[in-house]
Chains A and B, each alone.
Chain A
Amino acid sequence: MNPPSPNPRPPVTDASAWLALLENEWRRHRHALTGLLLFWIIGFWILLLLPHPAFHMVVGLLYCVLFAGPQAGADVMDGTEEFSFSLPTGRGPLFLARMTPGLAFILIVGGLGGLGSAFDLPQKLWSLVFDSGLTEPFAPVRDRFWYPLAVCIPLAVYAITFSLAALTRTRGSVGLAWLPAALATGAIIGIATIMENLLWRNANTLLLCPLLIATATVVLVIGHQLYLRKEATKAGGQAAGSSIWGWSMVVIAILIFVVVLSGFFFRARFVKEAPAIRTQQIHGN
């Protein structure tokens, strides 16, 4: 029906198309990504400035604040959503391709960083090159919970930021999507910590980390499903319709209210029992 293509090329499959989308996202954001990555590498691996695992968490969160929103909502900001949605690949692969760089960044920074902090890897690597004797081996931070949190907290913030920014129809919400994400994550931390205190008398992140991971997964899955149903926003300006931003703020406000309320409730109980707990811990250790 159509004359054959005059330019023989490797055949295009759904998988190769998805990779092409990924490559496009990388090419588009490579400066930002490599910039932040370099900052992290220099700060942790090279200059050994901040060996505390919280640094990795901060870098991950920085990514969320600076890049997650604009990456997910790039179409809304530029007005190119009609173009992107009329590409043959469709909405689903687009969502996943945009989600991947950020996800990979957080997992790498949090994961490798956590390992590096736990086993003092930067110093060990440097010692392979030269031994200056200038620094002491850095004792890993005793509170083990920082290591998983370095991945889990940015993961949750990223997931919510990304999904909100991808689903919104208004430009303003794209850049600020990290705010409700941060508040929601804070609320989850608060609730989980309170529950951990109830269950184990100790904030040990046994509940928090799985909860954060589960939240991230659920939010991304739901975001993906909703994105598949998203109507393309017009190029001309803000599209009419309810904004996700508005609704999420309402939800977050409710969450904060719940946290604060439960905080007051449980604080009353903690204050009474606190001296007994502390004595127990000192003797127990």
Chain B
Amino acid sequence: MNDHVIEASDLAKTFPGGRVAVHGLDLTVPTGAVYGLIGRNGAGKTTTLRMLLGLLRPNRGTARILGQDLWHAPRAVRQRVAYVSQEQQLPSHQCAAQLCLHLAKLHDRWDHRLAGKILARFGIPPEAPLWALSGGDQRKVAVALAFASRPDVLVLDEPAAGLDPIARRQLIEEMVEFLADGDGRTVLFSTHIIADLERVADQIGIMDRGRMVAGGSLEGLQSDMRRVQIIFDGGSVPAGFTVPGMVRSRAEGPVLTALVRLSGEDPLAALRNQPGLRINEFPLGLEDLFIELLDRQPADDPANPWWISPA
């Protein structure tokens, strides 16, 4: 079996009307990983996922799940991939029970009992027609259906959007159970909620304006990236001052705040002994990292974004 269960290479999509949603994106998800895709609204996360799933046709590049282009893959392969989309509408005239019965005939591995269990845990009455349920409840039904098909690959696009914190927690618990109950199961999900990512993700991809700007293992990013604060005694930051391994920085008065990637020996060693400045280092939570990376500064050139190579 291939090492990477999800692979996208040089994926690009331009919508009619000229809007470029995705520019040459590369994405790999190893088997058994939980990959979190984060980015601001409009970064192209949903478009990327839809291209991976064979819902949108890319203008360039390839997108494969389980080694196949899902657009042309046979049913036996497609049934191993489950998808819950952000804007998804389920057939509203049916109830959850009917949908389960219908989907059971399309999936080899459908598990009715699991479907019932998850619906009960979410508090969804299985006989209620979907049009009578709230948006959050409909999302829960979609999630239950996805888990009940016992896929090898689970793709979730902002699954927690519109869910209250308790339901979000239940969703995470279901995901954890899903991971624990099978071997080699892979999850790819996009989200805004960093706390959820920090709990379950082991691989991260940060997208901005259609490009992948940071990627790699969550642990690697967290351990390698630091916020470094240098306070200059002189009262202002010397012009053109750089910190080795610096990715981004901003200067306010005597304080230079920089996002620094540590690698190998301590790149700040030289600075620590320098007189006239004080150095503070702070570990970065993922949310801080996200904000540091994606908060746009006037000096940014949108055509040439910086890039952090995967750890």
Residues of A within 8 A of B (CB): 1-3, 5-7, 9, 11-12, 14, 16-17, 20-21, 24, 28, 78-80, 82-83, 85-90, 229, 231-232, 234-236, 240-242
Contact = CB atoms under 8 A, between A and B. Distances in A.
Contacts of B185: 2
19 contacts: A1-B183, A2-B150, A2-B183, A3-B181, A14-B75, A16-B105, A17-B106, A28-B93, A82-B89, A83-B85, A83-B90, A85-B55, A86-B83, A88-B76, A88-B79, A231-B56, A232-B56, A234-B87, A240-B17
B105 A12 contact: yes
B106 A83 contact: no
B53 A86 contact: yes
A7 B88 contact: no
Contacts of A7: 110-113
Ranked 6 nearest A-B pairs via Cβ? A20-B105, A88-B79, A232-B55, A235-B89, A79-B89, A88-B78
Contacts of A12: 105-108
Contact of A17 (B16, B85, B92, B105): B105
Given A82-B87, A229-B57, A20 B106 contact: yes
Given A1-B152, A6-B111, A12-B107, A83 B91 contact: yes
B87 to A, nearest CB: 5
A261 to B, nearest CB: 34
B106 A78 contact: no
Interface of B: 15-17, 50, 53-57, 74-76, 78-79, 83, 85, 87-93, 102-113, 150, 152, 181-185
B104 A9 contact: yes
B53 A89 contact: no
Contacts, number: 100
B71 to A, nearest CB: 8
Contacts of B103: 87
Contacts of B93: 28
State the majority secondary structure of interface residues on B: loop
Contacts of A236: 87
A11 B108 contact: yes
Nearest to B142: A83
B89 A83 contact: yes
Contacts of B104: 9
B55 A82 contact: yes
Given A5-B150, A88-B75, A24 B102 contact: yes
Contacts of B184: 1
Contacts of A9: 104, 110
B92 to A, nearest CB: 7
Contacts of A80: 89-92
Given A9-B104, A82-B88, A231 B55 contact: yes
Contacts of A1: 152, 182-184
Contacts of B56: 231-232
B109 A2 contact: yes
Given A11-B108, A12-B108, A232-B55, A6 B113 contact: yes
Contacts of A14: 74-75
Contacts of A85: 54-55
B102 A20 contact: yes
A78 B102 contact: no
Contacts of A234: 87
Contacts of B152: 1-2
Contacts of B85: 82-83, 86
Contacts of B108: 5, 11-12
A80 B103 CA distance: 15
Contacts of A229: 57
Contacts of A242: 16
Q: Which of A3, A28, A86 has the most CB of B within 10 A?
A: A86
A85 B109 CA distance: 19
Given A82-B88, A229-B57, 12 more contacts: A1-B183, A2-B150, A6-B111, A11-B108, A14-B75, A17-B75, A17-B105, A24-B102, A78-B92, A83-B85, A83-B90, A232-B55
B168 to A, nearest CB: 22
A90 B78 contact: yes
A16 B106 CA distance: 8
A82 B76 CA distance: 19
A7 to B, nearest CB: 5
A119 B141 CA distance: 54
A96 to B, nearest CB: 14
B88 A5 contact: no
